[in-house]
Chains A and B, each alone.
Chain A
Amino acid sequence: MLEIKNLSVSVKNKIIINNLNLEIEKGKKVAIMGPNGSGKSTLSNVIAGKHGYQINDGQIFFNGINILDLDPEERAAKGIYLAFQYPVEIPGIANSSFLRTALNSIRKYNGEKDLNTREFLEECKDLSKRLNLDTSFLSRDLNTGFSGGEKKKNEIFHMLMMKPKLCILDEIDSGLDIDALKVISDGVSKYSNENNSMLIITHYQRLLDYIKPDEVHIFNEGKIIKSGDYNLVKTLEEKGYQEFV
């Protein structure tokens, strides 16, 4: 699904991603853990197509096509979704109408008809129930005045409505209370199947306990310094990054 080859990225002439190679196969859940400032969010943004990074070298293939020249919205339309570490607030736009605009934009890009608004709203309501979100969430302004945890839940809400192929979750667990973490991980796990892939960035074992990643990579200074399976998380939790760097 996703193949990153020899990727080097810098910001303001400082190298952030350093000759990274990473492959995420279809149906797989891959976790990345790494110290603050090691370049995890930068990697997510480079995959999602945010402007402002210098790509010094390398390629990113998504389902066989090099996506580095595509705009963020084109990548989104191809099925790449990023749950943001820091979701932004947009006042004056209801959460649900933002989501509908997003979905219709992608449908348009892919030559499909607009959504049926009623069905869309039904689905929104069902899903918000499942995620334990008050339905007032749908009509409130996008992320505006949402608590930290509410913003994160909303990212997953969007994701489950948009049904992307590649889900990048950038610290979706930070700021969530214990119950919310369970509900959210549950939603993510249920969504995961043989046709989609997950890239999960986190600092904590708890989320991975729920989601059970197939692979775990430890990230430092813009590259992978150790790879393993779920057991690597336990070692890390016990010994810290010191053990690996």
Chain B
Amino acid sequence: MTTSETAKIVEEASEYKYGFTTDIEQEFAPKGLNEDIVKFISKKKDEPQWLLDWRLNAFDMWKKREYDMPGWANLKYDNIDFQDIHYFAAPKSDEEKPKSLDEIDPELLRAYNKLGIPLKEQEFLAGIKNSHKVAVDAVFDSVSVATTFKDELNKLGIIFCSFSEAVQTHPELVKKYLGSVVPTNDNFFSNLNSAVFSDGSFVYIPPNVKCPMELSTYFRINAANTGQFERTLIIADRGSYVSYLEGCTAPMRDENQLHAAVVELVALEDAEIKYSTVQNWYPGDKNGNGGIYNFVTKRGTCLGDNSKISWTQVETGSAVTWKYPSVILKGNNSKGEFYSVALSNNMQQADTGTKMIHLGKNTSSRIVSKGISAGRGQQTYRGLVSVLPNAINARNFTQCDSLLIGNDCGAHTVPYINVRNELSDVAHEATTSKISEEQLYYCRQRGINEEDATALIVNGFCREVLKNLPMEFAVEAKKLLELSLEGAVG
């Protein structure tokens, strides 16, 4: 099938189904992945030839992998049928949508309420029919908010836009850095993403500019639908600083099973990037049905001397999480940090950690990982600290703590340490603990019920990580932890 044929089918299909709803454009590609789909995506986005070539090259490499997915992670999941996926996703059709909140899974509503999300927003998040109006309003709201911010950011020369927009407006930057941190064929999923990525964020901070506000996907129109194959690129030029927040802070029930995002960060000389994530995608039900498979490649390069990249993540969602935000410490004196809280309840599985690759002199890294397992959740910390021969005086400190709630869950720690020079210092500490009966009793004697007591103790356990999050994010993260722990005790 040629691109034009594909496009035609798409057009016909949309006409047939949605011909009269012209206020919101519906677009999707048929299921399956082939060269035409890649061309179709690129064409829909009106991309320049070089980017199409880049995608096609990625697709070629991916094909050669013959569905050889990484098998080393401590994760069990059904085979993913890559030909049974829409690679250019459309919003759900109105027909398929629930008509009011009454038709929404009460569990989900309870979650929304607990998070304090206003009713209108709840309707939008739950994808209620005709809530488009609300959605559009909401979007317009954030657009106006975003525009006021945009003015302020523009004055400073900061570029903050969707990835697709950046391809049009700043192709030279995109071309220079795209794939420079996560090479196309780095792994199976980054390879796939490179061929079919949908959209994501683009940030550029000019030299010596400290970005005056936290940049957040929340303000972006397409935040709700960037979906499966996000591509984000953040560049902090010499002496600049930026703090970026990623996340949907409401649990979204998503039809898409597979998410494979790529995030690349580049910090030049004296620059600092702080990247925070709160991930709470649908984890599947109590028996492990449904839920998101989250295979993400996140990596930053401290390219310049004295640069710093810090990852903070709170992972409470997804059925399967496969994620290792990493830092390549290339510049001398550069610093990498990884602060993580990952929680697996019910049948959730998380294999997550980080890689700190020390290349430059006097580079240092710090890893603080807090894993919480409850229900039948399985949790693996997998981390690599690699100190290469030239990384004289490199230092790493790793603290890796696991907390078990109940008797049916598991925690595993897999640290790889690879030190290739003698003038470096690598320290690893690990603990595993259980919430003790005595702690729970003490809290309950003070009037705090068992569920709240568990949440309290878990929050205490995670504090070192949570305190790295921006204020409002930390509050939401706490609520999310509480929510995700529901049913873990009693």
Contacts and interface: CB of A to CB of B under 8 A. Distances in A.
Interface stretch (B149-157, B275-283, B439-447): B439-447
Given A92-B464, A162-B447, 12 more contacts: A51-B437, A71-B450, A73-B447, A73-B448, A81-B445, A84-B442, A90-B439, A92-B462, A93-B460, A98-B456, A105-B449, A106-B447
A81 B445 CA distance: 7
A91 B401 CA distance: 13
A90 B453 CA distance: 11
Contacts of A71: 444, 449-450
Nearest to B461: A92
A76 B446 contact: yes
Interface string A36-78: 0000000000001111100000000000000000011100110
A90 B457 contact: yes
A44 to B, nearest CB: 10
B172 interface: no
Contacts of A52: 437
Contact of B447 (A51, A76, A92): A76
B439 A88 contact: yes
Given A72-B444, A73-B444, A93 B449 contact: no
Contact of B460 (A81, A92, A162): A92
A193 interface: no
A232 B135 CA distance: 76
Contact of A72 (B441, B452, B460, B464): B441
A158 B445 CA distance: 12
A48 B445 contact: yes
A73 B438 CA distance: 14
Contacts of B463: 92-93
A88 B438 contact: yes
21 contacts: A49-B445, A50-B441, A51-B437, A52-B437, A72-B441, A72-B444, A72-B445, A73-B447, A73-B449, A76-B446, A77-B447, A88-B439, A92-B462, A98-B443, A101-B448, A101-B456, A102-B447, A105-B446, A105-B447, A105-B449, A162-B446
Given A92-B462, A93-B459, A141-B460, A76 B444 contact: yes
Contacts of A141: 460
Contacts of A91: 460-461
Interface string B351-382: 00000000000000000000000000000000
Nearest to A91: B460
Contacts of A87: 442
Given A50-B441, A90-B439, A102 B459 contact: no
Interface in A117-145: 141-142
Interface of B: 436-439, 441-450, 452, 456-457, 459-464
A162 to B, nearest CB: 7
B436 A88 contact: yes
Contacts of B464: 92
B142 to A, nearest CB: 31
A109 interface: yes
Contacts of B442: 84, 87-88, 90
Contacts of B436: 88
B405 to A, nearest CB: 15
A105 B452 contact: yes
A218 B438 CA distance: 28
Contacts of A105: 446-449, 452
A73 B463 CA distance: 25
Interface string A205-238: 0000000000000000000000000000000000
B134 to A, nearest CB: 31
A91 B435 CA distance: 11
Nearest to A72: B444
A82 interface: yes
B107 to A, nearest CB: 23
Contacts of B438: 88
A81 B447 CA distance: 9
Nearest to B446: A102
Nearest to A144: B460
- Among B436, B438, B444, B463, the most chain A Cβ lie within 10 Å of the Cβ of B444
A76 B445 contact: yes
Contacts of B450: 71, 73
B348 to A, nearest CB: 23
A197 B464 CA distance: 41
Nearest to A48: B445
Contacts of B441: 50-51, 72
Contacts of A162: 446-447
A90 B439 CA distance: 7
Contacts of A92: 459-464
Contacts of A101: 448, 452, 456
A7 to B, nearest CB: 19
B462 A102 contact: no
A109 B8 CA distance: 62
Contacts of A103: 447
Contacts of B452: 101, 105
- Among B450, B460, B461, the most chain A Cβ lie within 10 Å of the Cβ of B460
Contacts of A51: 437, 441
Nearest to B370: A92
A42 B200 CA distance: 60
A71 B446 CA distance: 12
